[in-house]
A and B are shown apart, each in its own frame.
Chain A
Amino acid sequence: DSGVTQTPKHLITATGQRVTLRCSPRSGDLSVYWYQQSLDQGLQFLIQYYNGEERAKGNILERFSAQQFPDLHSELNLSSLELGDSALYFCASSVLAGRNEQFFGPGTRLTVL
């Protein structure tokens, strides 16, 4: 158990819908990262937050957005969902923004029908 929690574990929805994935980092970790794992794209970095502020952006679609709240939990919002958004979404956390050892949550499996 990494100490990073993600909810829900599974999510099944329809195209065009909007969903919210939630992540709670390890106690004491200030930085949160979101990754997408799919069969065709592999593991891709989406976005990083540090202590409530966006720190880095990767291959994140404009339909996707994220935020980190004062209690340090983070949410990833996916809207206008398409079939190709079906994937495993991982959250990871680390102590500092520049410290690169990241601990991953169990993931949320999103299925878009």
Chain B
Amino acid sequence: AQSVTQLDSQVPVFEEAPVELRCNYSSSVSVYLFWYVQYPNQGLQLLLKYLSGSTLVESINGFEAEFNKSQTSFHLRKPSVHISDTAEYFCAVSDLTGTASKLTFGTGTRLQVTL
């Protein structure tokens, strides 16, 4: 079985400050890793993903995440946040075995950006 732990339920940060949202996972098999973002009253949008290859992955809006196998982590970072980044962020894992590919989500981290 897999599990995902997002250590911070809420992260308040000032605009233009850096931020890190933490994600740790547990799995007995190799996994794919994802970050999804949920804006108020909206569905989930894929922010970035790690499937294979380079352990550092980037999104088009300045977020990046680094897969660390030894620490079983996939922390999300942004060097300078904007008010529009205020949202709920979910880390998710999916295993590589078989053809069933459900996502197991963490409990989410609410990023609150203020002026």
Q: In the complex, A55 Cα to B102 Cα: how many Å? A: 10
**Which stretch from A11-19, A64-72, A100-108 is at the chain B interface?**
A100-108
| B43 with A55: CB separation less than 8 A | no
Q: Which residues of B, 56-97, contact A by the 8 Å Cβ criterion?
A: 90, 94
Q: Sorted from nearest, which 10 A-B pairs have the closest CB atoms?
A: A56-B100, A43-B105, A97-B99, A45-B102, A100-B94, A104-B44, A100-B101, A98-B99, A106-B43, A104-B43
Q: Are A100 and B32 touching (Cβ within 8 A)?
A: yes
The residues of B with any CB-CB pair to A shorter than 8 Å are 32, 34, 36, 42-46, 49, 51, 90, 94, 98-108
Total interface residues on A, CB under 8 Å, equals 29
* Contact status A101-B49, CB under 8 Å: yes
* Chain A positions near chain B (C-beta within 8 angstroms): 2, 4, 31, 33, 35, 42-45, 48, 50, 55-56, 58, 90, 92, 94, 96-107
Contacts of A98 in B (CB 8 A): 98-99, 101
CB distance from B9 to the nearest CB of A (A): 11
